[in-house]
Amino acid sequence: MIRDQVSLAVHDHGGEGTPLLLLHGAGRTLADWAAVAPLLARHHRVLAVDLRGHGLSPDGTWSVPGVLGDIEAVLARHGIPEALPVGHSLGGMLAVRYALAHPDRTPAAVNLDGYGWGRPDRYVGLDPTDVEEWLSRMRELASQTSGRILPRGGLADLLAEQRAMSGRLGIPYELLEAGVRRSLHERADGRLELRPGREHALEMQAEIHSLDLLGLFRRMDRPLLLGRALRPAPPVPGIDRFDELMAARATGLAQDLAELAERHSEVTVAGIDGTHAMLLENPRAVADVILEFAARLPGTRRPSL
């Protein structure tokens, strides 16, 4: 697992009590947790990491086993191998995989809105053939935009995009700016590139597409929290039928998660008042869901207040 291990960049938020390890989404960084982590650290020891190829962490061939080895090494180095993995988006998928790989020491897992695009037949009310064609276009678009290299003066334009997003979603601009700046890497030619770079981004996307997420959730024999965004994703300019497809996807996902929770007593499903950008939009709601779940786990330790 650790032959291709990368030494991850870590932000230690301190705190006492049962340790939590915070994992961000694809193309994001540990800066996404900046508003949530201090709320968690009132009750828990909290670490956040930049996954390999992201933020300030080194590059490495992107494979799930390699990333799990990185995470294991971080927890061993900090003396908290029993930490509860808490992830958003891709980080949530990894949290579940990590818990499954370490049943002897990992008490549970938290996945916040880490469900990928889902199966075409779970877009309720839509023709699966049409959905598959649309998803193919979306995957191709993601491939084309991987490892984005900014043109001269492109940073100012990128930050202007973030400021506009701040206004639309009500996210503090400084949180968006911090994430962008942490993601930037200066190339040998002096141009700025958004990490992960194209090669590793494509490897990462292939790994994500290969995951059978519902299958992973069903295999969990310990408590699993599945958080789901209750607000629709904002429209994306230039992408046809985005709102329609996302509404159909949300309906199918809600049905799948409700069925999963009904059949598996270890699974808890929680709606969170936010879009997929919930960590930045509504950190209090995210923290409350995590804290409530963690408080119910056997052996949870809380600091004396």
For all residues of the chain together, what is the average pLDDT?
93
Residue 175 vs residues 19, 27, 36, 50: alpha-carbon distances, Å: 24, 15, 11, 16
**Model confidence pLDDT, tens digit, residues 182-241:** 999 988 888 899 999 999 999 999 999 999 999 999 999 999 999 999 999 888 777 889
Secondary structure letter of residue 121 according to DSSP: G
- Residue 79's CB is within 10 A of a number of other CB atoms, namely 10
- Assign 301 a pLDDT band (cuts: 50, 70, 90): confident
- The pTM assigned to this predicted structure is 0.95
Secondary structure letter of residue 125 according to DSSP: T
The verdict on whether omega for the bond into residue 196 sits within 30 degrees of 0, i.e. cis, is: yes
**Model confidence pLDDT, tens digit, residues 154-179:** 899 999 999 999 998 899 999 999 99
